[in-house]
Structure 1
Amino acid sequence: MTTHDEHATASRRSILGGAMGAGALGLVGAGATGLAAAGPAAAHGTITSYSSINGARTVYEVNGALTTWGYRPSFHSRLDTWLAFWNANTPSSWANVSRVWSYGAHYDGRVTEAHNNGRGFDLSRLYTGSTRRFNARYDQWRTLSGSDLALTRRRYWATSASAHYHFRNVLTYAYNGDHWNHIHIDNLVSGTANSSFDSSSRAQVLHVQASCRYVWGLPTTVDGVWGSQTSGHSNRVLRAAGVATGGIGTQSRWLAFNRATTRKGYGTQSYPAA
């Protein structure tokens, strides 16, 4: 497993009120065993405050307030690129995202390396105008049923795919309970480039399996273990997406898998059955 991969992030179930401004989250929690302790602010280089991502204002999930957070500029640029990709691969009848709800980005008091360095972001919701298009609050919607559950879950994994396209580390509700109310995104491994696939990454394998099952309708077991079923089902998705040969082990095919999953999950494009 790659260094820094799939680090456990602090649970949002324990939240302390705090001053909310550039670089202040006021969040603490458990689940960070084995991480390096947060260092002084100077250790992480330049942190710049931003009030938006790709023109969409950022909102603090806890209180609904428009909030400015601090980021490493190169990480914020990757978030801009990700959200532009999301806009481009969701229905053209929708306006661009206007609000990005989150539990925050940089905070020196966190013990997680990504957030301490301004290179982590915890995504909870996306809105176009007043309409919520994506909801990461699995803690709230997991009790839905029927078509409401199917739609919410399909869009969840489609958005996960958009993030996996751009970032190596993406942690979802399937990864552990700490992520039942957000998707964690960071670029500690992928840096300023798009991501690539590693079959030893439990987070990535869970994403592939859940995408095959909940977006593409295949009977894929979601257990985080790479095996013949997951390999075969992801290959079927690639064939449906128009990739003639090979699996997701190469970056171009991994990106094709995630782009098609984003588009299918949001109904942007029709594909043959996988």
Structure 2
Amino acid sequence: MTHDDHTASRRSLVGGTIGAGALGLVGAGAAGLATAAPASAHGTITTYSTINGARTVYEVNQALASWGYRPSFHDRLNTWLAFWNANTPASYPNASRVWGYGAHYDGRPTEAHNNGRGFDLSRIYTGSTRRFIARYDIWKNWSGSDLTTARRHYWATSASTHYHFRNVLTYLYNGDHHNHIHIDNLVSGTVNSSFDSTSRAQVLHVQASCRYVWGLPTTIDGVWGSQTSSHSTRVLRAAGVATGGIGTQSRWLAFNRATMRKGYGTQTYRAP
């Protein structure tokens, strides 16, 4: 079945476009994150045309684009995409294109993008094959295996970002994220993420991963409770973690790595 998945974003763009590879950033993309004053708030911004060797593409006009980042944040994106490459099936070439809505933009009223420390991810291609699409606004209307594959790859890729970044906002977080996953390192900085059961964004990710990747009947409500604790622990046992829940960083990372690998069919695990 062929889908018209290149539909232009229906969100209004903030700041319009800037030159050929422009940042017309979506909505209030990082709603709920801290704000900062423009321009003077950030340090050095460096322009890059790739993430870990994959060319970046602007979702709105589907053209190759170069965006500005804080170099330390761009380094984390390189590490994330290398992780994504390493944990997708061996039959996949490395990612060749990463689509999104950009990174740094001084007119953006959010601290992450204003400081070049946020990125809005919409697709990943290996060669000419799309492996991931964050456009829930499009694929929510699909059916059958097209829907289940898109959704499974969505949460597997979400897991890869949660492994590396503390702030990750998905379509379950709010409507502003129905066409991208927002990631930033305002909290996690230059190290991997850790889990906080009071984080609604992280709990939503755990619940959706348990349900859509691991096949458990997990309620998705963004609230940490006994069912979510039990189901996420069952996932850890299926992944070979012998004791404990996802409260420690090592087990949180193990949960996300296993979810990434199971979601893409890279590794077979026993039923949780």
Both structures adopt the same fold (TM-score exceeding 0.5): yes
- Paired residue type of 2:221: D
The offset of 1:39, in angstroms, is 2.3
Matched residues in 2 for 1:31 and 1:181: separation? Answer: 10
After superposition, give the CA deviation of every residue in 1:67-116 in whole Å (9 maximum; x if it has no partner): 00000000000000000000000001110000000000000000011000
| Residue of structure 2 equivalent to 1:123 | 121
| Match of residue 220, structure 2, among 219, 222, 225 | 222
Matches within 5 A, 1:120-199: 120-199=118-197
| Residue of structure 2 equivalent to 1:88 | 86
| Residue of structure 1 equivalent to 2:12 | 14
Matched residues in 2 for 1:34 and 1:212: separation? Answer: 25
- Paired residue type of 1:19: I
| Match of residue 55, structure 2, among 42, 54, 57 | 57
Matched residues in 2 for 1:256 and 1:113: separation? Answer: 29
| Match of residue 25, structure 2, among 20, 23, 27 | 27
| Residue of structure 1 equivalent to 2:6 | none
Q: In structure 2, the residue corresponding to 1:43 is in which secondary structure? A: coil
| Residue of structure 2 equivalent to 1:47 | 45
Unpaired runs of 5+ residues, structure 2, are 1-8
Matched residues in 2 for 1:146 and 1:35: separation? Answer: 35
| Residue of structure 1 equivalent to 2:3 | none
The offset of 1:35, in angstroms, is 6.3
Unpaired runs of 5+ residues, structure 1, are 1-10
| Match of residue 198, structure 2, among 174, 197, 200 | 200
Matched residues in 2 for 1:250 and 1:106: separation? Answer: 32
Matched residues in 2 for 1:35 and 1:122: separation? Answer: 14
After superposition, give the CA deviation of every residue in 1:130-182 in whole Å (9 maximum; x if it has no partner): 10000000000001112211111000000000000000000000111000000
CA contact (8 A) 2:29 2:177 kept: no
Q: In structure 1, the residue corresponding to 2:89 is in which secondary structure? A: coil
Matched residues in 2 for 1:272 and 1:37: separation? Answer: 44
Closer/same/farther in 2, CA of residues 83 and 37 from structure 1, 3 Å limit: closer
Matches within 5 A, 1:95-106: 95-106=93-104
Matched residues in 2 for 1:114 and 1:198: separation? Answer: 20
Matched residues in 2 for 1:31 and 1:158: separation? Answer: 21
CA contact (8 A) 2:38 2:114 kept: no
Matched residues in 2 for 1:173 and 1:40: separation? Answer: 27
CA contact (8 A) 2:54 2:96 kept: yes
- Paired residue type of 2:54: A
- Paired residue type of 1:98: S
- TM-score, normalised via structure 2 length: 0.93
Matched residues in 1 for 2:41 and 2:231: separation? Answer: 44
| Residue of structure 1 equivalent to 2:262 | 264
| Residue of structure 2 equivalent to 1:112 | 110
Matched residues in 1 for 2:220 and 2:139: separation? Answer: 19
Closer/same/farther in 2, CA of residues 171 and 40 from structure 1, 3 Å limit: closer
| Residue of structure 2 equivalent to 1:255 | 253
CA contact (8 A) 2:30 2:169 kept: no
The offset of 1:32, in angstroms, is 7.1
The offset of 1:19, in angstroms, is 1.9
After superposition, give the CA deviation of every residue in 1:37-94 in whole Å (9 maximum; x if it has no partner): 5524232000000000000000000001100000000000000000000000000111
Matched residues in 2 for 1:69 and 1:260: separation? Answer: 31
Matched residues in 2 for 1:232 and 1:36: separation? Answer: 32
Q: In structure 2, the residue corresponding to 1:77 is in which secondary structure? A: helix
- TM-score, normalised via structure 1 length: 0.92
Matched residues in 2 for 1:36 and 1:273: separation? Answer: 40
Two-structure CA RMSD over aligned residues (Å): 1.7
- Paired residue type of 2:18: A
Matched residues in 1 for 2:96 and 2:78: separation? Answer: 13
What is the count of residue pairs matched by the alignment? 263
